[in-house]
Amino acid sequence: CNVVVLISGSGSNLQALIDSQHEGNPARIRAVIANRVDAFGLTRAKGAGIPTAVLDHKAFDGREAFDAALMELIDAHAPDLVILAGFMRILSPGFVRHYHGRLLNIHPSLLPKYKGLDTHRRALEAGDAEHGCSVHFVTEELDGGPVVLQAALQVKPGDDIESLTQRVHVAEHQIYPLAMRWFAEGRLRLAEQGAMLDGVTL
Ligand code: GRF
């Protein structure tokens, strides 16, 4: 299963995906693409011997043009799966359609709660007892595609944005490699009724 990972920043999720390849995950990350030249995840990829590319969205005249160039770059690696790992760009409907059923994202909330940004602050302000993260198939609705799996954690008294961010990250690093593995093993797919694992609707 050929995988292309898109990042914008630190790439700690990318690192977890890379590490899982050494622990029996059959997925193979063929390339890492960033929209920022200073994304630290590029250094992680190079350290693992994975080819990298940078496509600066500011160099393009609009989202459609950027997405078209991005698709070309991605498709050169003939991916079975494209993984968004902290890729901080909204993708155009055409892009999302092109990768229908083979595009995964991780979002730092228990979806459908808190789509969009600032999820930890919003969970704290709402006084939620639980918070967490979700892996989902990407569809045209922002953070609204079918959920594949979630990790929930307890919000403790005294938690702040920083402590929650940190614990959610640890959880992300556990569930994203698992989703990549399921997909690579042919167990996970997107059907009309939603995400399916081993033929069962999630
Ligand atoms: C994660 O919190 C993820 O949920 C969000 O962006 C962050 C990426 O972190 N989409 P990293 O770059 O993988 O460390």
Identified catalytic residue from 107, 120, 131, 136: 107
> What is the rounded average pLDDT of the residues 49-63?
95
Residue pair 146/190 in contact by the 8 Å Cβ criterion:
yes
Q: What average pLDDT is seen over the chain?
A: 97
Residue pair 109/84 in contact by the 8 Å Cβ criterion:
no
36 lines ligand 1 (CB under 6 A): no
- Taking the whole predicted model, whether its pTM rises above 0.95 is answered as yes
> Given this model, what pLDDT does residue 89 score?
92
| 100 catalytic residue (yes or no) | no
> Given this model, what pLDDT does residue 25 score?
97
Residue nearest atom 9 of ligand 1, based on CA coordinates: 86
Q: Give the separation between CA 84 and CA 91, rounded to whole angstroms.
A: 11
> Given this model, what pLDDT does residue 128 score?
98
> What is the rounded average pLDDT of the residues 76-88?
97
177 lines ligand 1 (CB under 6 A): no
| Cα–ligand 1 centroid distance for 58 (angstroms) | 21
Would you put residue 33 in left (φ > 0), alpha (ψ -120 to 50) or beta? beta
> Given this model, what pLDDT does residue 121 score?
98
Closest atom of ligand 1 relative to the 8 alpha carbon: 12
Q: How confident is the model at residue 8 (pLDDT cuts 50, 70, 90)?
A: very high
Residue pair 129/153 in contact by the 8 Å Cβ criterion:
no
pLDDT digits (tens, 9 = 90+) for 151-188: 999 999 999 999 999 999 999 999 999 999 999 999 99
| Cα–ligand 1 centroid distance for 5 (angstroms) | 12
13 lines ligand 1 (CB under 6 A): yes
Strands 147-154 and 130-137: antiparallel
**Which tokens sit at 67?**
């997405």
> Given this model, what pLDDT does residue 75 score?
98
107 lines ligand 1 (CB under 6 A): yes
Within 13 Å of residue 3, how many CA atoms lie on the same side as its CB? 27
In the numeric block, the tokens 């709660």 are attached to: 113
> Given this model, what pLDDT does residue 44 score?
98
> Given this model, what pLDDT does residue 113 score?
98
132 lines ligand 1 (CB under 6 A): no
Residue nearest atom 6 of ligand 1, based on CA coordinates: 86
